[in-house]
Amino acid sequence: MKIDTKQKQSKVEITKDKVIFNLNWQIIISVGESIKEIHDFSVDIDIKFYDVYQAVSSIVKSTEKSPKSIDNILLIYQNVSSIDYIIENKSIVYLITQNISNLKEPYYFLFAVKVPQETSIKIIVEEILQLKATVGQQFTYQVKAKNTGNTKLSFELVSPLFEINNSTGVINFTPTKLQKGNHFAALYVKDSQNNEASKIINFLISENEQMPELILENKTISLGEEFFYEPYIKNNINAKLEFVEAPQEMSIDGNSINWIPEKKGNYSVRLKFSDGVYSSQNQFTVEVK
């Protein structure tokens, strides 16, 4: 038997509903006087790149119109699983998560939009992690916010399911079975001078069951000491961890975090865990003495 190969040619086609990988690799198999030629290998992967493109395009166009604001309602109604963002220096970094595919795990798209930001923050809303509520049980949460001018704030929550007290910032409701699932709402906080801050709030509503929970605690180590930490994920042994925010050189091996600090200080670490059904974030601080 003799096998000969010729030059390979590859091509990737991105369509609305899938990505097609084409490989033209001519393989000639000879056995005696018999010759068999094989070529044109292809595989289709069901990835909704078009929906991600539409989401990115909408965000960029919205930023061009209003470079100093984020349209949270626009983010909620995109045809993707979720859109998260953080503001760093003069850029807004967006993370798009898409679960709609035949892949076993969700896939992620990260991109940034550079916009001018004001030098002073007028309204500060504390970080709101994923809020968890149980069907049939009253849920109450106090949104905490302040502004540099110490003027009165008003609150608005854009959601068909929940309401917020406009003057106190208290969310109070009792979820029903029809509300079970993962929901997003846009929170707006305003002051009397028309300054505004906004956040996306994620509500996870379930029946009375044990939901996964990422349990973290702050750590203290000495400079030069190797940092090793295994966070505890309650009620879930299959969830995977990844960094949302972490010091340079810090790494994750499985669910173990490793790092050797080079400077003293306080370092914030934000983690995200997901098991394909539930996902959530939490954070802790490492003090290096």
pLDDT for position 119: 44
Confidence of residue 289 (pLDDT cuts 50, 70, 90): very high
Mean per-residue pLDDT for 225-249? 84
Mean per-residue pLDDT for 173-181? 86
Q: What angle do CA 164, 165, 169 make, to 5 degrees?
A: 80
pLDDT for position 250: 93
Boundaries of every domain in the chain: 2-45, 48-117, 119-209, 213-288
Q: Are 106 and 81 in contact (CB under 8 A)?
A: yes
Q: How does pLDDT run across 44-74, given as a tens digit for each residue?
A: 666 667 788 888 888 888 877 777 678 888 8
Confidence of residue 120 (pLDDT cuts 50, 70, 90): low
Could you tell me which of 215, 220, 204, 194 has the C-alpha nearest to residue 285? Answer: 220
Q: 213-288: same fold as 2-45?
A: no
- Burial string for 119-157 (b: 16+ CB within 10 Å, else e) reads eeebbebeeeebbbbbbeeebebebebebeeeeebebeb
pLDDT for position 287: 94
**Model pTM?**
0.39
Tell me how far apart the alpha carbons of residues 281 and 235 are, in angstroms, rounded to a whole number. 15
pLDDT for position 44: 61
Environment class of 73 (CB within 10 Å of its CB; exposed 0-12, middle 13-18, buried 19+)? middle
Q: Are 150 and 156 in contact (CB under 8 A)?
A: no
- The CATH label, of 3.40.50.740, 3.90.550.10, 2.60.40.10, 3.40.50.620, for the domain at 119-209 is 2.60.40.10
User: Mean pLDDT, the chain, as a whole number?
Assistant: 80
Q: Which fold has domain 2-45?
A: TATA box binding Protein, subunit D; domain 2 (2.30.18)
The H or E element spanning position 57 is helix 49-65
Tell me if the domain spanning 213-288 has CATH number 2.30.29.30. Answer: no
pLDDT for position 140: 92
pLDDT for position 286: 94
Residue 27 in tokens: 């393989």
Q: Are 129 and 110 in contact (CB under 8 A)?
A: no
Quick check: 148 pLDDT over 80? no
Q: Are 169 and 153 in contact (CB under 8 A)?
A: yes
